[in-house]
Structures are given as C-alpha cells and as structure tokens.
C-alpha cells in the first residue's frame, strides 16, 4: 500500500502541475479580460442551466473569457449550492448541516461588471432559442449549456430548493438514524458505503445491514476497492448482503427479499441516480438515451441531435453521456471543453475541442469509511488499481474549504 501511495501522489503531481500552471495563465488572462470587457445592453446570452459542480465551473470560466457582446446567465433552482459530498456524514451526526449549503454570492466575485447574473428558478422546458421557467419568465439564448445533473433519493440529495428547508430534511434523517436500533442501507455504491460506515462508527450499538444488488460493491470501480471496503465494513460490524435487490415497502421500515419481509427501524435508499434530462423532451427527445436517460453528446459536448441543428446547445456533468466518470472533477474538465467551443463558435470557427476522460484523475475517489478511516483509490485505463488508507480528518470533513472555493467564508449564522 505504501508503493500505491507513492504512485498516486507521484502521478497526481505530474497531472496537477501543468493543470496549476494553466490555471495561473488563465487567471492572468482574466485580469486583462476584466479591463477590456464592456457590458452592453444588447449583449447576447450564454445560458447555463444547473449551478452545481459542472455548471459553476463553466460559469466561472465563461466570466473570465466571453467577449464583449455576450454575458452569462446561470439558472439554478436552489437558493444555495447543495454540497452533497458531505450529505452522508451530515445525515448521521448533528450540528453541521447548515455548512452543506453554500451561498452563490462569491462565484463571480472578480468578474467584470455586467457579465454575470444568476436566476433562482426551475427550467421547465427549452426551445431552440429560449429557456422557459416555472415562474413564467422566458430567457433568450445564443448558446446553452445543460448541467442539470441527476436526482437521487434523500439523503444523497434533498428535495427542497431552500437551504433552511434542506437542512431540516437532513435533520429529519439524523433523527431517524439516531433513534434506530436496526438500520438497512439499500445499495452498495459510494453513497451507501459512506452512510453505513458512518452510522456504525458513530453509533456502534446500531445494527447496520447493507443490501447490494451485485457481487461487487462499488461496481463502477475495481475489485481491489471492493475487497478493501468489504473488509473495512465487516471489521466495523456491518452485515453486508451481496447479490440482493430488496424491494422497499411503503413506510420505509420493511423490505421484501426473496419473498420474505424483513423489518427495520429505518431503511435508507442509496440506489443511484436519475439524470435530469426531461427539459429536452419537447425540443428533441432523440437526444435522450432510452437506456440511461442521459443526454447524448458528441466528443465536443454539443448535443448529438438526429437533425444536426442543435450545435449551439451543450451538455456537461452527470446529466450528459460523456463517457466520463460521474464525479465532480469530470465536470471541471468537461467545462473547459465547452468554454473553448463556445469561444470558437462566437469567433466563427469550428468547435474543435473534444473531451476525453482522464480516468486516473477524474475517476479517483476519496471514500470515507466511518468516523476516522478513509480510502484513496485511483485506477489506470488498463485497469491497474492503486489504493491507500488515510485518516479522515475533521468531523465536518473540512467543508469550509468548499466555501472558500465558492468565493465565500463560512459564518455560523449564514
Ligand atoms: C453523497 C455524494 C458524495 C459525492 N462525493 C464526491 C466527491 O467526493 N468527489 C467527487 O468528485 N464527486 C463526488 N460525488 C459525485 C458528484 O457530486 C457529482 O458527480 C456531481 O454533483 C455532478 O455535478 P453536476 O453539476 O453534473 O450535477 P448535480 O450536482 O446533480 O447538479 C445539478 C444542478 O442542476 C440543478 N437543476 C436540475 N434541474 C434543474 C432545472 N430544471 N432548473 C434549474 N436547475 C436545475 C440542480 O438543482 C443542481 O444544483 C458525490 C456524489 C454524492 C451523491
Ligand atoms: N466519496 C465520493 O467521492 C463519493 C461519495 C458518494 C457518491 N459518489 C459518486 O456519486 C455517484 C452516485 O453514487 P451512489 O452511491 O449514490 O450511486 P451508484 O454509484 O449508482 O450506486 C448505487 C448502487 O446501488 C445498487 N442498487 C440499486 N438499486 C438497488 C436495490 N434495490 N437493491 C440493492 N442494490 C441496489 C446499484 O446497483 P445496480 O446498478 O445493480 O442497480 C448501484 O451499484 C457515483 O458516481 C459515486 O461514485 C462519490
């Protein structure tokens, strides 16, 4: 494992140094852009739908690069960024839930005046030149990027669009978990494993059972991670039932498996994602994959529409069938492709930038395994796997760093 650690760190440095230098170059160019950009009342809109990991990154880069005559409008239904990476932990222990909802105010702090605005609303559908909102408002666009991600059952995602109500939803889950003697977690993906290990390590007397559909936990990663995680879960005292796809019965307290009903005090569904692609249905349902419901895109991340008329619309992040991992980091690399292609099209050039997933960096995972343990894992294209365990750090998982990355600072009364 020590050699795995050296390999992961060495490889990460080789990738991060050129990335860091490129970001520095971009920041310097952004200073120049700030002085030269002129806000015009006639500016055309580049609209982004969805203000999470992919949409925010795209917005940040577009406000550094769009020429005079264009501006960015970010449409997001939530009042705050829902920082879901800490939802498993903050659904188990109390007192931190407000930290999971980060204000949007800081994301374009150093952008030129007039280039950026955010609208809190829900997009219902789109036409080839307009976005329709639940409020009844319509917004024209010249270019559109869809970054609507996916929906998941609570506690991977909350239902409310308001931060205070979202915090309440997490508190309700905490109350159920903390009052329970027997908990079942359905689904052995990263979400299911993080919440199950947190419950068992913060509340050791609670009986925790994980039911997973396949014989490999975390099936989008490799066997080595499965072996490591299974051992860690069993060491904690979690019962893991593989190749089991139970049906959750109404009330979330009982499930049916192989005809037998089992009772629990609380059942937590961690059964995966449903892409939010329906806003495209009325414009062109042919760009929605029948199998995965993701939006079909070309390597340029333009829509792969059957008639070839929607090249001014892009899709990024978890909602798009990019071939990349469903991780926040993938959205970062995809956003850069979209920025380059929109700038090229504004400049009357062919959109030539293409997305090719960098599995080692985009698909790497830091997986918490309870209060103190955590595993770092990365995989090469040829299947070679590396992992090492690290200490988990702070109880709030150092979430304040994410606030800083969003251009703001955590204040207890925010
Ligand atoms: C519990 C958990 C922990 C994770 N931890 C990590 C991690 O440590 N590292 C990592 O790299 N990845 C992690 N991931 C994966 C990562 O969070 C996702 O890959 C990432 O959120 C995808 O970002 P996205 O912007 O594509 O979509 P999403 O994050 O799903 O965001 C989509 C956004 O669009 C908005 N939206 C949707 N529809 C509409 C509409 N019609 N109108 C207006 N707004 C709309 C939503 O409100 C949302 O804000 C984790 C995922 C989960 C669930
Ligand atoms: N620390 C991190 O970086 C982190 C943490 C959390 C999530 N994530 C990422 O976020 C994404 C979503 O993760 P997720 O764990 O929510 O979803 P996921 O990766 O899709 O895992 C859900 C798992 O549950 C299984 N499942 C579905 N229904 C089931 C049922 N009824 N009974 C038993 N098993 C069932 C699925 O298997 P089938 O395919 O067979 O249905 C799947 O393997 C992933 O890309 C993940 O890597 C990352």
Architecture of domain 2-154+273-361: 3-Layer(bba) Sandwich (3.50)
CB 123 within 8 A of CB 279: yes
| CA 36 – ligand 1 centroid, Å | 34
Indicate whether residue 212 lines ligand 2 (CB < 6 A). yes
Ligand 1 centroid – CA 166 distance (Å):
15
| Torsion 120-121-123-129 (CA) sign | negative
| 2-154+273-361 and 171-272+364-402 have identical folds | yes
Note the CATH architecture for domain 171-272+364-402.
Answer: 3-Layer(bba) Sandwich (3.50)
The answer to whether 194 and 397 are in contact (CB under 8 A) is: no
Q: Whose CA is nearest to atom 8 of ligand 2?
A: 190
* Beta strands 182-186 and 207-211, pairing class: parallel
If one residue of 12, 49, 52 were mutated to test the ligand 1 pocket, choosing by the most ligand atoms within 8 A of its CB, it would be 52
Burial of 120 (0-12, 13-18, 19+ CB in 10 A): middle
Determine the pLDDT at residue 71. 98
Q: In angstroms, rounded to a whole number, what is the distance separating the alpha carbons of residues 154 and 217?
A: 20
Domain range list for the chain: 2-154+273-361, 171-272+364-402
Ligand approaching nearest to the C-alpha of 188: 2
Per-residue pLDDT of the chain (414 residues; tens, 9 = 90+): 768 888 888 888 888 888 889 999 999 999 999 999 999 999 999 999 999 999 999 999 999 999 999 999 999 999 999 999 999 999 999 999 999 999 999 999 999 999 999 999 999 999 999 999 999 999 999 999 999 999 999 999 999 999 999 999 999 999 999 999 999 999 999 999 999 999 999 999 999 999 999 999 999 999 999 999 999 999 999 999 999 999 999 988 999 999 999 999 999 999 999 999 999 999 999 999 999 999 999 999 999 999 999 999 999 999 999 999 999 999 999 999 999 999 999 999 999 999 999 999 999 999 999 999 999 999 999 999 999 998 877 999 999 999 999 999 998 765
Please, what sign has the CA dihedral across residues 146, 147, 153, 159?
Answer: negative
Nearest ligand atom owner, CA of 54: 1
The full DSSP string for 219-288 is TTS-HHHHHHHHHHHHHHT-EEE-S--PEEPTTSSEEEETTEEEE-SEEEE----EE--GGGHHHHGGGB
Nearest CA to ligand 2 atom 25: 187
What tokens does 65 get?
């690069």
- Give the residue, by CA position, lying nearest to ligand 1 atom 3: 85
| Chain-centroid distance, C-alpha 165 | 20
Cβ(355)–Cβ(334) under 8 Å? yes
Per-residue pLDDT at 133: 98
């Amino acid at each position: 494992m020590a050699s795995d650690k050296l390999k992961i760190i060495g490889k990460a440095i080789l990738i991060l140094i050129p990335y860091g230098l490129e970001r520095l170059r971009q920041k310097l160019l952004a200073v120049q852009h700030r002085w030269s950009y002129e806000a015009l009342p006639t500016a055309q809109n580049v609209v982004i739908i969805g203000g999470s990991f992919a949409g925010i990154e795209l917005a940040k880069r577009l406000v550094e690069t769009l020429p005079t005559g264009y501006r960015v409008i970010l449409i997001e239904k939530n009042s705050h960024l829902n920082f879901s990476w800490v939802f498993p932990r903050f659904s188990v222990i109390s007192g931190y839930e407000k930290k999971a909802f980060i204000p949007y105010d800081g994301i374009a702090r150093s952008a030129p005046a007039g280039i950026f605005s955010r609208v809190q609303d829900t997009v219902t559908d789109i036409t080839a030149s307009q976005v329709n909102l639940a409020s009844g408002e319509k917004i024209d666009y010249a270019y559109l990027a869809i970054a609507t991600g996916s929906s998941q059952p609570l506690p991977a995602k909350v239902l409310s669009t308001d931060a205070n109500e979202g915090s309440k939803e997490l508190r309700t889950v905490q109350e159920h978990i903390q009052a329970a003697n027997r908990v079942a977690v359905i689904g052995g993906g990263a979400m299911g494993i993080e919440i199950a290990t947190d419950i068992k390590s913060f509340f050791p007397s609670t009986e925790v059972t994980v039911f997973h559909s396949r014989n490999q936990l975390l099936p989008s990663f490799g066997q080595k991670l499965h072996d490591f995680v299974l051992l860690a879960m069993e060491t904690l005292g979690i019962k893991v039932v593989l190749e089991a796809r139970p049906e959750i019965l109404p009330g979330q307290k009982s499930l049916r498996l192989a005809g037998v009903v089992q009772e629990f005090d609380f059942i937590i569904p961690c059964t995966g994602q449903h892409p939010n692609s329906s806003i495209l249905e009325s414009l062109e349902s042919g760009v929605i994959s029948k199998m995965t419901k993701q939006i079909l895109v070309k390597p340029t991340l333009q829509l792969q529409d059957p008639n070839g008329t929607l090249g001014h619309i892009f899709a990024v992040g978890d909602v798009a069938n990019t071939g990349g991992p469903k991780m926040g980091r993938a959205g970062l690399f995809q956003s850069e492709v979209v920025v380059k292609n929109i700038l090229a099209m504004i400049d009357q050039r062919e959109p030539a930038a293409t997305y090719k997933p960098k599995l080692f960096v985009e698909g790497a995972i830091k997986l918490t395994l309870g209060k103190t343990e955590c595993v770092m894992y990365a995989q090469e294209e040829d299947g070679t796997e590396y992992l090492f365990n690290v200490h988990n750090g702070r109880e709030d998982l150092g979430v304040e760093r994410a606030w800083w990355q969003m251009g703001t600072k955590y204040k207890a009364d925010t």
